[in-house]
């Protein structure tokens, strides 16, 4: 029998109190792809419970669980038809209670996904809302007439010309009542109308119900889209589709802060030990500072999107090469931007992003080196780091062949639109291979066996063929593995106050591909120097402080002022 020790030892002074999440590391579980407990090829809650020892070994403090609620799975669970039920695909409410209890027993908190910008079209609220124009829930969603003077139900007559996140118009026509409803995502994800106080209070009730059940907070899906510009103005149209980016009118809208403040007051006040993080596509530094300023009592932190948009051309599937130093520049911008004002969340990937070692690193010659270098620059910035499942073992993008290998509604809709407009489909597929969300959704590679130890059954999406060598089992006992490097990074956060609260300062390292920065706290300086390139780099001898000691590195001891490809070193200096 394995005994599991709680991970939350050490640094009690930092961890106690309201801001415990500043020293925490969060691990995201995407339930479909994490571990399959009942052998049907789909990950589930019992599967997660069976892999808790992995999380304990890694040393994380919090699990963020992507949606396990009842759902028709039009968008893999981000379309919820009952917020207070578990989808049978994933298990039962008692499995969920068991998960909460088992995580708490080893000192890990559980944060659940909160998807309240929209529901499923199969949610009873929407079923009522669409049933008649005078239904009491009509106004719970955004219903509008066709454009004046047009025939409803025909393309181009939608109330606004906004392009959906998942291609096509953001409005669908409903015959029963002769009006359109708004959906920023898929047609099966109608947007809730937060202007209506009944909607807001129904959401707050539901949130309290979950907190009473014992969960420790929420990751809030696209929470900066809940306040729309009341007049719903048109976007600048694209010449081909006639539609355009309407985000100026639905993101970071006029009542966002009011709603977040109200939610905080209604749901979080009087409770402690919680973590709140808002997913905010398009958020700016100033907006993020307002949301996360502690005295404003909105959210603890937000997920910003700038660094995961650096390789987007016309759109995310038109992938452009990253300029040298672009990642470091963007990270630094956010470090300085929120310093002393709010708090950063730090992430390289999640269930919507490709694998970071393939995207920002070199998943071939320098797979191990680049995966560990990227982990190092992320975890040693100021903020709360998030690890997406599989990142801690350096999982890579998958070799999807045809459109049939993909599973994501975003890819299918985009492909359909590309077909309709006569775009080059090979180019589209290579865009999906580079930036498609399915890259993150292939099963976690636990072992080298068939189906990677994820399941005993053919999984819902193919396992990456490289699981034969790239798997957790191979890495646990290898001191130089990606897993053990991540483990060391987490441990460093647990033992060094400078890593948690130290000031960030970027250093000029000469070449743009070397990212160097310090974190200083009274008496201690932690210095990170990372070569984010395939070439050896020599650095200025002045960058290595006298009397410093290397406390972490991905090649063993560093060699003077020569950095090997993707070498990352961490130096500690006692200044007093």
Contact of residue 221 among Ca ion, ligand TEU, none (CB under 5-8 Å per partner type): ligand TEU
Contact of residue 72 among Ca ion, ligand TEU, none (CB under 5-8 Å per partner type): none
Q: Shortest Cβ distance from residue 193 to ligand TEU (Å)?
A: 17
Contact of residue 78 among ligand TEU, Ca ion, none (CB under 5-8 Å per partner type): ligand TEU
For the chain, the 3-state helix, strand and coil shares in percent, each to the nearest 5, are 35, 15, 50
Q: Shortest Cβ distance from residue 220 to ligand TEU (Å)?
A: 10
Contact of residue 525 among Ca ion, ligand TEU, none (CB under 5-8 Å per partner type): none
44 carries an active-site annotation: no
CA pair distance 499, 527, nearest whole angstrom: 10
Contact of residue 222 among Ca ion, ligand TEU, none (CB under 5-8 Å per partner type): ligand TEU
Q: Shortest Cβ distance from residue 206 to ligand TEU (Å)?
A: 16
Q: Return the C-alpha torsion angle 440, 442, 448, 451, nearest 10.
A: 170
Contact of residue 115 among ligand TEU, Ca ion, none (CB under 5-8 Å per partner type): ligand TEU
Q: Shortest Cβ distance from residue 284 to ligand TEU (Å)?
A: 15
Residue 567 in the binding site for Ca ion (CB under 5 A): no
Q: Could you tell me if residue 549 is left (phi over 0), alpha (psi between -120 and 50 degrees) or otherwise beta?
A: beta
Q: Shortest Cβ distance from residue 518 to ligand TEU (Å)?
A: 32
Contact of residue 185 among Ca ion, ligand TEU, none (CB under 5-8 Å per partner type): ligand TEU
3-state DSSP of 99-154: HHHHHHHCCCEEEEEECCCECCCCCHHHHHHCCCCCCCCHHHECEECCCCCCCCCC
Give how many residues touch Ca ion by CB under 5 A. 5
CA pair distance 383, 24, nearest whole angstrom: 9
Q: Shortest Cβ distance from residue 219 to ligand TEU (Å)?
A: 9
Q: Shortest Cβ distance from residue 199 to ligand TEU (Å)?
A: 17
Q: Of 71, 55, 64, whose CA–CA distance to 7 is shortest?
A: 55
Residue 95 in the binding site for Ca ion (CB under 5 A): no
DSSP labels for 494-524? HH-HHHHHPEEEEE--SSTTEEEEEEEETTE
CA pair distance 360, 371, nearest whole angstrom: 9
Nearer to Ca ion, 71 or 413 (CB): 71
Contact assessment for residue 139 and residue 190, using Cβ atoms and an 8 Å cutoff: no
Nearer to ligand TEU, 146 or 461 (CB): 461
Nearer to ligand TEU, 278 or 375 (CB): 278
Nearer to ligand TEU, 165 or 483 (CB): 165
Q: Could you tell me if residue 365 is left (phi over 0), alpha (psi between -120 and 50 degrees) or otherwise beta?
A: alpha
Q: Shortest Cβ distance from residue 510 to ligand TEU (Å)?
A: 35
User: Within its chain, how far is the Cα of 558 from the centroid?
Assistant: 33
Q: Name the residue with the smallest CB distance to ligand TEU.
A: 78
Nearer to Ca ion, 36 or 438 (CB): 36
Q: Shortest Cβ distance from residue 37 to Ca ion (Å)?
A: 6
For 157, residues 6+ apart whose C-beta sits below 8 A from its C-beta are: 146, 147, 150, 151
Indicate which single residue of 4, 14, 19, 40 sits in contact with Ca ion (rule: CB under 5 A).
40
Q: Shortest Cβ distance from residue 76 to ligand TEU (Å)?
A: 7
For 121, residues 6+ apart whose C-beta sits below 8 A from its C-beta are: 79, 127, 130, 187, 188, 189, 190
> Looking at 221, 287, 408, 410, which residue is catalytic?
221
For 454, residues 6+ apart whose C-beta sits below 8 A from its C-beta are: 33, 34, 35, 36, 43, 443, 444, 445, 446, 463
User: Within its chain, how far is the Cα of 265 from the centroid?
Assistant: 25
Nearer to Ca ion, 36 or 369 (CB): 36
Residue 38 in the binding site for Ca ion (CB under 5 A): yes
3-state secondary structure of 82: strand
Q: Name the residue with the smallest CB distance to Ca ion.
A: 44
Radius of gyration for the chain, computed over Cα atoms and rounded to the nearest angstrom: 24
- Contact residues toward ligand TEU (CB under 6 A) are 75, 78, 115, 165, 185, 221-222, 279, 281, 316, 351-352, 410
Strand residues in 155-274 grouped as ranges (E): 171-174, 179-182, 217-220
Contact of residue 259 among Ca ion, ligand TEU, none (CB under 5-8 Å per partner type): none
567 carries an active-site annotation: no
Indicate which single residue of 28, 36, 163, 276 sits in contact with Ca ion (rule: CB under 5 A).
36
Contact of residue 291 among ligand TEU, Ca ion, none (CB under 5-8 Å per partner type): none
Angle at the Cα of 349 (from 235 to 481), degrees rounded to 5? 165
Ordered strands of the 345-346 beta sheet = 301-303, 275-279, 217-220, 109-114, 62-65, 26-29, 384-388, 345-346
CA pair distance 193, 199, nearest whole angstrom: 7
Residue 87 in the binding site for Ca ion (CB under 5 A): no
Residue 29 in the binding site for Ca ion (CB under 5 A): no
> Looking at 191, 279, 287, 391, which residue is catalytic?
279
Indicate which single residue of 44, 191, 298, 408 sits in contact with Ca ion (rule: CB under 5 A).
44
Nearer to ligand TEU, 185 or 367 (CB): 185
Binding region for Ca ion (CB under 5 A) out of 43-51, 270-278, 427-435, 529-537 = 43-51
Nearer to ligand TEU, 247 or 524 (CB): 247
Contact of residue 42 among ligand TEU, Ca ion, none (CB under 5-8 Å per partner type): Ca ion
| Beta strand 217-220 pairing with 109-114 | parallel
CA pair distance 73, 224, nearest whole angstrom: 23
Nearer to ligand TEU, 26 or 222 (CB): 222
CA pair distance 426, 416, nearest whole angstrom: 13
Angle at the Cα of 483 (from 481 to 485), degrees rounded to 5? 70
Nearer to ligand TEU, 42 or 509 (CB): 42
Residues that bind Ca ion (CB under 5 A): 36, 38, 40, 42, 44
Q: Which residues are annotated as catalytic? A: 221, 279
């Amino acid at each position: 029998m394995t005994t599991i020790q709680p991970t939350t030892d050490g640094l009690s002074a930092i961890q106690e109190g309201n801001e415990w999440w500043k020293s925490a590391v969060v691990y995201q579980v995407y339930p479909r792809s994490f571990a399959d407990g009942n052998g049907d090829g789909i990950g589930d809650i019992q599967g997660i419970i069976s892999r808790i020892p992995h999380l304990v070994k890694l040393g994380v403090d919090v699990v963020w669980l992507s949606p396990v609620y009842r759902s028709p799975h039009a968008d893999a669970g981000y379309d919820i038809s009952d917020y207070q039920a578990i989808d049978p695909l994933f298990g039962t409410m008692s499995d969920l209670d068991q998960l909460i209890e088992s995580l708490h027993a080893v000192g890990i908190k559980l944060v659940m996904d909160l998807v309240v910008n929209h529901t499923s079209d199969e949610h009873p609220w929407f079923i009522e809302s669409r049933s008649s124009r005078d239904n009491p829930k009509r106004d719970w969603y955004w219903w509008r007439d066709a454009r004046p003077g047009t025939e409803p139900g025909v393309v181009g007559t939608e109330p606004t010309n906004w392009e959906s996140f998942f291609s096509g118009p953001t409005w669908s026509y409903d015959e029963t009542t002769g009006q359109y409803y708004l959906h920023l995502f898929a047609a099966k994800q109608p947007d809730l109308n937060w202007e209506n106080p009944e909607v807001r209070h129904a959401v707050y009730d539901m949130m309290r119900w979950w907190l009473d059940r014992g969960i420790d907070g929420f990751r809030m899906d696209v929470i900066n889209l809940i306040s729309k510009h009341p007049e719903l103005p048109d976007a600048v149209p694209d010449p081909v589709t006639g539609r355009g980016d309407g985000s100026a009118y639905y993101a970071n809208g006029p009542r966002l802060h009011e709603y977040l403040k109200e939610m905080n007051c209604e749901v979080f006040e009087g409770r402690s030990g919680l973590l709140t993080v808002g997913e905010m596509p398009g958020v700016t530094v100033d907006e993020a500072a307002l949301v996360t300023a502690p005295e404003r009592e909105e959210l603890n932190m937000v997920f910003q999107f700038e660094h995961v948009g650096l390789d987007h051309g016309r759109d995310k599937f038109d992938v452009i090469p990253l300029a040298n130093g672009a990642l470091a520049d963007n990270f630094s911008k956010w470090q300085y931007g929120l310093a002393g004002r709010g708090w950063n969340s730090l992430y390289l990937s999640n269930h919507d992003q490709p694998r970071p070692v393939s995207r920002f690193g070199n998943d071939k010659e320098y797979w191990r080196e680049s995966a560990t270098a990227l982990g190092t620059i992320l975890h040693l910035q100021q903020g709360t780091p998030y690890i997406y499942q599989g990142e801690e073992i350096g999982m890579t993008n998958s070799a999807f062949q045809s459109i049939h290998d993909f599973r994501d509604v975003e890819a299918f809709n985009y492909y359909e639109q590309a077909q309709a407009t006569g775009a080059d489909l090979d180019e589209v597929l290579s865009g999906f291979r580079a930036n498609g969300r399915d890259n993150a959704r292939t099963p976690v590679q636990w072992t080298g066996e068939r189906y990677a130890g994820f399941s005993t059954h053919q999984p819902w999406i193919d396992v990456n063929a490289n699981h034969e060598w790239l798997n957790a089992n191979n890495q646990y006992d290898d001191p130089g593995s990606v897993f053990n490097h991540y483990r060391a990074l987490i441990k460093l956060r647990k033992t060094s106050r400078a890593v948690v609260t130290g000031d960030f300062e970027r250093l000029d390292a000469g070449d743009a591909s070397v990212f160097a920065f310090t974190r200083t706290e009274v008496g201690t300086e932690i210095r990170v120097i990372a070569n984010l390139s395939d070439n050896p780099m020599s650095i200025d001898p002045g960058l290595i402080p006298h009397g410093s000691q290397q406390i972490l590195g991905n090649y063993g001891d560093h060699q003077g002022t020569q950095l090997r490809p993707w070498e990352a070193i961490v130096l500690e200096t006692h200044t007093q």
